[in-house]
Structure formats: structure tokens, C-alpha cells
Structure 1
Amino acid sequence: MAVTVIGLIRFGLSLVFGITVSVLFAGIELTKKNRLVTSVLWVIFLIVQTASWWLLGLELTSKLYPLIIHLPLIVIFSLYFKRPWAISAVSVLSGYLCCQAPHWFGSLAGSTLSSRLAEHIFYIASVSLAYYFLKRYVAGSIRQLMEKSTKSCLFLGGVPLFYYMFDYATIIYTDVLYRGTKWAVHFMPSTVSIFYFVFVIFYYAETQKQNVLQREKDMLDAQFRMAQTEFASLRQLQHNAASYRHDMRHHFALLQGLASKEHMEGIKEYLRTAQADMDAITPIRFCENETVNLILSAFATKAKQWEIMLTIDAKLPDSLPFSDTELCSLLSNALENAIQATKNINDENKRNILLRMYSKNHKLCIDIRNRYQTEPIFHQGLPISKKQGHGFGTKSMAHIVEKHGGVFQFTLKDGWFVFQATA
């Protein structure tokens, strides 16, 4: 009698365990309402299972399990809990797979002690331990892997699916496994080994991908720090210009001294030197925004050094929705790339860069276009460089624009390389 009662408890607990683990794997939020719904599902499926067992017998009930338990669970997860079909199916299959370890421990105990009662008791104890372990250490990882991509979800469901098919084909619908048929005995070890090596391949590829992304992140961080340093240098130039203007009284005093001695050549030489010094440290004023003025002034000087005609049309207010370092990184990368592409043109008359910036509806609009000697290569909408360690500037530009909810594009048009952005 005790064995029968414990057996019935085990029979019901197995169902409750499978449903609960499937809910955990499916990523169903355990709100008060969902806990209540899960409890109702326990009761309904226990009634269905018990009724089928009572009317049809244990053997036929086991064969009908996919139709009366598993398939309805997948449908409920998908339609009621709004989980994707793939995640719902893999969750139920994984829940079924998780029932096998407690079953094995129970069978091992029963065989060792030659007791059916011991088998049931060890199964119940194993189920409790398995649920604790799965909830605390496994369920979160399973959910993240399944939600990462459909490909990841399907790959994760491969072993549970093959085991499910194998179990029903060789144990429940037939007794091929118990007869010791060679192909059946070797099927699951072969399947597990295949998935192991496929997992190694996918894991290695994913690791390499993460390493590349980390290197790109490090390069972008380095570029951003470089932009901060460059902007600090521009600030220092502005400070020097302010100091120079402040010291103008000293220059006038010196000029007055030279004039009193009628030293005209000395005056002319001093004025040429002072003018050169002022030009070197005084930013040209292109617009109302001080930061943009500093950056454009620096690149106007650089373009002049390379005999490049840089035409600037900037109509910007004093305030923009970008930090100083973001503006510096965005404009510096764009103009540096334009200068690098333009300076290699043999015909000096074609060394042209056009820059237009304006504000519209509180958004920054940029149009930078330059001539080029060698046609750029594009990958996924971004120009790329074949040189080692290059090509991160455009990614940094794209990142800054997207960070502010903007859009951008790199195009080739009538012999011009064009960068346009609105953010």
C-alpha cells in the first residue's frame, strides 16, 4: 500500500516538476498572477494525467503524453504567456530532459537496495535537489541563451529534442533500447559527442567575435581620450590668445619706444612677428559656438599646410546637444579623414573639402564632402581601411551620432566622398 501511495505521489510530482522547470526556462515572469496560473496548470494537467491513467492505463498514457501534456504546454506558453514558439518548445523539451537525472538516481537506488519504495523515495529527493540547482544556477543562463537569438535557441534545443525523440522511439513506443540493439545503444552518446564538438566550434567563434568587439571598444576609447587631449590643447591655444591680447599694452609700449627713436625697420619687423604669433594662436571665428570654432580653426590651419582648399559654412548657435569631447571626436575624425584622402590627390586644384554645418529644430546637421584619389571601400555602410589599426574613426563618428538618436550616411557622389549626419 505504501509503495502504491508513494508511487502515485512520484507520478504527480514528476509532472509538477516538468511544468515548473519549463516555466523557469521559458522566462515567464513569476508575478503573483503567473504563479496562480502555473498552480492552476498543475491541477488541470494532474487531473488530465490521472484520468488518462485511470481510464487508459499507464502504458497508453505514457504514449499519449506528447499530445495531452507537452503540446498543450507549448501552446499555452506561446498564446497565453506570449513567449516565442521556439522558446516555448525548447523550454518544454528541456524540462522533459531534466526529469531524466532524478529518474536515473531513483533507478540506481532501487537496483542497489532491491526496493521499489527506495526507488520512489530517492526519485522524490532527487527532484527536490534538481529543482533547487536548476532554479539557482541554470535557469537564468538558459533564458539568456534562448533569448539571444533564434539560432542560439534552436542549437540549445538540439540535445533535448534528439533525446525526446530517442526516448519515445526506443523506450515508450518500442522496447528497442531494452533489447540492446546496437544502433540504439550508441545513438545518444554519438548525439552528445556531435553536439559537444559543434558547441566548441560555436563557442570559439563567439569568443573570437567578442575579442574583436573588445578590441574595437578599446580603440574607440583610445580615440575618445585622444579627442579629450586634443580639445584640451585647443583650449590652451584659446587661453594663450586671451593672454596675448591682455598683454597688448606691453606691445604698444615697446612700439612707442621704437617710434620715439624713429626705428621704422624695427617697428615693421616687430609687427610682422606679432602678427604671425597672433595668427598662430588665435582661432578663426566661423560661428557662435566656441567649441566648433576651436576645432574648425585648428583644421583650417592643417588644411592650409597641405595646400587643401577647405571651405567652411557654419551657422551654429552657442549651445549644442553634444559635449565638447563628442564634438571634438566627431568633427576631428571627419575632417582628419577628409584631409588624409584629399592630400594624396596629385592635381592641387582638386584638393577640395566642403563643410556645411547648421542647426535645425534643435538638431545638429553636418555635411562634409571631399575629393579623393582612391575610391573608398564600404562594409555595412561604413568606409573601411586596409591599414592595421585604422578604420575606427568612422565607427566612433557613427557611435556618437547614434548615441544622440541621430542618423548618418557615407556615400560617393559625382567624385565626392560625402558624410552627412543629423543628431
Structure 2
Amino acid sequence: MIDHAWLQVSYMAQIIVACLLFMIPVAKRRRFPARFASCTIVLLMIAYMFGAAVTVPDNLLLAILYWPAFAVICLPAVALCLQAGLSEVLYCTICANATQHAANECYLALSIALGRTTPDLPTLLNGLLTTVIYIAIYGAFFIMFARKLAVHGHYRVNRNDLFPMACILLFVWVLGVLCHDDVSLHGVVYHISDALCCFYIMWAQRSNHDKAELQRELDGVRYTLLQQQKQYTVSQETIDIINRKCHDLKHQIRTLQTMQESPERDAYFAEAERAIMIYDTRIDTGNKALNTVLMEKGLYCQSHDIQLTCMPSGDSLDFMQVADIYALFGNALDNAINATMELNDPSKRVINVRFSSQGNLMLIQIQNYHQRRLRFRNGLPITTHQDATRHGFGMKSMLHTVEQYGGTMQVDDTDSVFTLRILLPKNPESSTG
């Protein structure tokens, strides 16, 4: 009796578990456990009554439609459990059915290969074999696809993919119906082909997802570089104006100092000149773009009680484009400033920039204290901004810029000191060629 009941609901139970795998990584509705449990009970009851009332038809067309009917029944249940639109619900259900079908085809292929046919009622050995295969396939599909395809609690569904996915899955169902009773070597080939088709459905989605993520990152890097280039133009114009004004004011103050002497007047002018000298202090690195970046960031640091020191090497960065210089050093110093701003200890609110050369190589090192615990991925720190979708392109943009010139970039976090090292060839064409 129990074995017979299990045969009626086993297919639906397999689909429900597969649906759960693809629901785990995404946003769910409130009281998800209760919703999922209720839907599971209802679906199993429907499957039992459906299986008792309708046997697998002998007619080929009806037999092909028999199994997809179970998938259609699952759609409302998935919609009740997830915070998702129709396209995402369809996507989740199709992926779940592809996973279930891949596991089932692997089981059938292995059963035939071992010289066994599927019995009418499950035996202990048959049940053990089924369990092991399903756990292995479901686990692999969850790790390789379900976890990877979900982004911030949702599947990014391209509606143009849904129809081809459904068509391939329907084709796989047709093959499954045609070769279900074939226990020859051809049957093994059919079942393995079916499983590979299901794997292809998911692999194609994973491949498209990875390409979309890379394109999104590339768009973010390009946008960051464009914004840095625009900011450089504005900053250069602003600093040129400040320098001219400072130069004029210094001469005006010195002219006024030659007038009637007075202690208060001298103190006033001395204080004014010291204030103006803040804006007139410049580090000559031999490159106008780099001077602009250092002066702009230096002014910001002075107004926020941060000490920015720079040790130029005397070698110029003229081999780099102006926009790349501003993007590279602007991002690096912005990261250092943001980290230093969080420190309360004045002695640690320090940023050190150092340039050194050896042969055809230039080493750029930027160090600063920080108080956050950094996590790294692919050698780069993961953004600490809460909105990771809009931040995190700075370091990738820097790495992209450095690699364009045949250089390397390394980051290190030791004893709450963040160190960025950039190694650039002074003659990129000869070093990369």
C-alpha cells in the first residue's frame, strides 16, 4: 500500500525538492516554511489523486502531455512561495524540471547499464540507488547553477530564453517517453543524451549569466573611467583658477605690508598669508595631471585633518594618458581617504604616497591605516559599501588601467595598514610587445 502510494507521488515529490533547490537562493514571501509545507501537501494530494485517476496514456501525444502537466501544477505553488514575477516563476520551475529530469535519466541509464530494469515496486536496493543518484545530481545542480544564477535574491531572467528552454525541455520529455521501455544499449545512450540536454539547458543559462555579469562590470568600469575623466577636467580648471588667485593675493598682501606699519595689521596679514599658502603648496612630480590629483586630494585632506605625504621619484608618468592618471590615482586616494576618515586617532590619519624607480620599472606605493576587517576576492578587497551593485568598480577600474600599460597591482592588509603597490613599465610598448 505504501509502495503503491509512493509510486503515485514520487514524481511530484522529486519536482518539489528540485523547486526548493532553486527557491533557496532567492527572495521568498513571508512565512515561507509554512507556505512551502502547505503547497507540498496540496501538490502531493493532487499528484496522488491524479495518478490514481489517470494512468500514463498509451497514445504518444497524450503521454507526452502527461508529464508536463505536473510541472504546470507546480507553477502556482512556486508563485505563492517566492517574491517574484511570472517570468521568474516560470524560470525557476523550468530549471527545477530540468534538474529532476537529468537525475531521473541518469538513474535510468545506470539501471540499464547494471543489467537491471526498473521494477514495478521499489525495492530497498532500487531505493538506495535512486537516493544516491538524486542527491548527487541535485547537489551538483544546486552548487553549479542555482546558487550562481541568483543575484541579490532574484534570477535575472531574459524572457527570450524562456521559450527555447521550454522547447528543449519538451523535446527531452519526448525522448524520455519514446525510449522509456528500451533496456538495450541504445536506451542507455538515449537516457544519457536526455541528461546532457538538461545539463546543457542549465549550462547555457550559467554561461549567459556569467557573460552578463562581466558586461555589467565592464560597463561599470567604463562609467567610472568616464566620470574620472570629466572630474579631472573640472578639477584642473578649478585649481588653475585657485593658483592664479593665490598668486594675485600674495602680491596684494605684500603690497599692503609696505604701507603703514601696525602690529595688528602685521599679525592679520601674516595669518592671511599662511592661510593662502595652504592653497599654494604644490608637489612637483613632473606630471601636470598627477600634480592636479595630489593637490586636489591634498586640499581635501587638509580640510579634514588628514596628513597626505608624497615622495616623488623624479621620473615622469608621461607615458600614461591624462585620463588614466587621474582615474588611477583618483580612485586610489579616494579609497585611502575614505578609510582614513573613519579613524579617530589623529596619529593614524595619515596617507603616504611613494614613487620609486629601478631600471625600466616604476613602483607606486600608497599606504594608509584603516579599522575595517577587509575581505578579498580574486586578490581585490570586496567593497564595504552596503549597495554593492553601485560600488566596487573602483579597484577593478584601477586594475584594468594598470593592465592596459602592462603593469601589475597588488594589495596587502597587515596590522590594519592597507598597502597598494602598482608596478608599471616606463616604456609599455617595449615591455608588452
Q: Which has the higher helix share?
A: 1
> Higher relative contact order at CA 8 Å, sep ≥6: structure 1 or structure 2?
2
> TM-score, normalised to structure 1's length?
0.50
